[in-house]
């Protein structure tokens, strides 16, 4: 049967469109001076991208077009910060991850709202200090630190763009403020009480989060294919963390990379937990390599935190730890692993933390991680 010819790529009447690896569309055109001008952000679909090109064409035709490279001294912080979100990339050329973007948008609409209507040049060091003082007085130290860090980053880019002459964010240590609230991990007795009190199909989730020190997004993206047995004489269950899931308003669940490059790792499960995991796979996980270990009630979609906490809150209360956030289980696993005598590098690898030297790709130290996992079980016997 003869192959059908590939459809020819549509040529735009004005400008050009290009689909990025992310699936979003980039629009550009050549201005009267022969310079290619790109849209200040990418688009969800071709319709929106073409609409932007049409507006540029109309502006060129009726003489209202201005060079977007010309510094706009009247640019407000909100306008510039919104464009910054669309164009911000890390050192690997990656755009903001969905959950990070949602968090930044929340900060811009929330604690940074009072600065939003000011022009970039209108944000003075004195104005930043007064804003910071008011925010700290509200008692939200951690949120204020995050908002200040975002403000400083946005204005650093504005400085590079020549829109301001200096960065007004000069408060030493402002990005490091915290509420001082310390997360106290559960004791072994409290962990076991939680595991025994929680709905049975989530018992393995509690034990994996604790003994493998997993983040919630890593845990709820685990699939049957991610659990394997290593070794013949003394078999060890190993969980591979290669992906994570996030949920953002308007976009739903997004499966993507782990929090950092170092987050891709293989973690040996302490032997005393093996039976719980194996029972879970047998009783609660559907057949098939792609089946989620901890799905929602429909058995196929991801488990929302808002649904999980309905089981988590009663179980932690039953253990006498109504204050305990789920993330404290990860702290528990990190503490237990450190008590085995693991080196700093081994701890960083097991937790998926990036080092100060580079964002490391996890390299499994053959046999050593399994040995330390067994020592974690030994601690339970003492």
DSSP state of 12: P
Structure tokens at 118: 């000011």
- Grade residue 366 by pLDDT with cuts at 50, 70 and 90: very low
Asked if 55 is an active-site residue, the reply is no
Provide the whole-model pTM: 0.62
Asked if 364 is an active-site residue, the reply is no
Residue 323's contacts (CB-CB under 8 Å, 6 or more residues apart) are 184
Helix 271-283 and helix 203-211: axis angle, to 10°? 150
Q: pLDDT at position 355, please?
A: 52
Active-site annotation holder among 75, 280, 330, 350: 330
Active-site annotation holder among 95, 215, 302, 321: 215
Read off the pLDDT of residues 31-66 as tens digits, 9 standing for 90 and up.
888 888 888 778 888 888 898 888 888 888 877 777
Active-site annotation holder among 353, 364, 368, 374: 353
Q: pLDDT at position 353, please?
A: 66
Asked if 327 is an active-site residue, the reply is yes
Which range has highest mean pLDDT (157-166, 195-204, 356-365)?
195-204
Asked if 50 is an active-site residue, the reply is no
The whole-angstrom separation of Cα 192 and Cα 308 is 18
| Lowest-confidence region among 54-63, 159-168, 277-286, 314-323 | 54-63
pLDDT for residue 150 is more than 70: yes
Percent of the chain scored above 70 by pLDDT? 85
Asked if 362 is an active-site residue, the reply is yes
The whole-angstrom separation of Cα 372 and Cα 4 is 58
Structure tokens at 229: 């047995």
- Grade residue 121 by pLDDT with cuts at 50, 70 and 90: confident
CA distances from 88 to 142, 162, 311 (A): 23, 17, 38
Active-site annotation holder among 25, 202, 332, 362: 362
């Amino acid at each position: 049967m003869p192959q059908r010819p590939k459809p020819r790529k549509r040529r735009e009447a004005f400008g050009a469109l290009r689909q990025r690896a992310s699936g979003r569309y980039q629009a550009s055109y050549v201005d009267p001076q022969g310079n290619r001008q790109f849209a200040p952000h990418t688009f969800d679909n071709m319709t929106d991208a073409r609409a932007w090109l049409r507006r540029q064409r109309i502006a060129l035709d009726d003489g209202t077009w201005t060079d977007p490279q010309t510094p706009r001294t009247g640019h407000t912080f909100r306008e510039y910060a919104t464009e910054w979100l669309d164009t911000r990339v890390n050192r690997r050329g990656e755009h903001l991850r969905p959950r990070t973007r949602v968090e930044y948008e929340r900060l811009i609409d929330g604690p940074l709202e009072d600065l939003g209507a000011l022009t970039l040049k209108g944000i003075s060091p004195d104005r930043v200090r007064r804003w910071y003082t008011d925010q700290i007085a509200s008692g939200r130290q951690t949120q204020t630190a995050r908002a200040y860090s975002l403000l400083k980053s946005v204005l650093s880019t504005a400085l590079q763009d020549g829109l301001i002459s200096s960065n007004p964010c000069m408060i030493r240590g402002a990005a490091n403020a915290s509420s001082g609230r310390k997360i106290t991990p559960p004791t072994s007795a409290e962990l076991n009480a939680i595991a025994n009190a929680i709905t049975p199909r989530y018992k393995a989730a509690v034990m994996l989060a604790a003994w493998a020190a997993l983040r919630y997004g890593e845990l709820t993206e685990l699939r049957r294919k991610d659990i394997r047995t290593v070794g013949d004489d003394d078999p060890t269950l190993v969980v591979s963390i290669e992906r994570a899931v996030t949920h953002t308003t308007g976009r739903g669940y997004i499966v993507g990379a782990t929090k950092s490059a170092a987050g891709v790792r293989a973690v040996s499960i302490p032997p005393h937990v093996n039976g719980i995991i194996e029972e879970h796979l047998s009783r609660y996980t559907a057949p098939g390599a792609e089946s989620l270990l901890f799905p929602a009630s429909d058995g196929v979609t991801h488990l929302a935190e808002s649904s999980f906490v309905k089981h988590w809150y009663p179980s932690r209360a039953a253990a006498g730890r109504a204050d305990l956030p789920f993330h404290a289980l990860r702290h528990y696993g990190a503490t237990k692993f450190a008590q085995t005598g693991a080196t700093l590098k081994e701890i960083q690898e097991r937790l998926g933390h990036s080092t100060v030297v580079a964002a490391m790709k996890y390299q499994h130290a053959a046999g050593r991680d399994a040995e330390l996992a067994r020592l974690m079980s030994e601690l339970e016997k003492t």
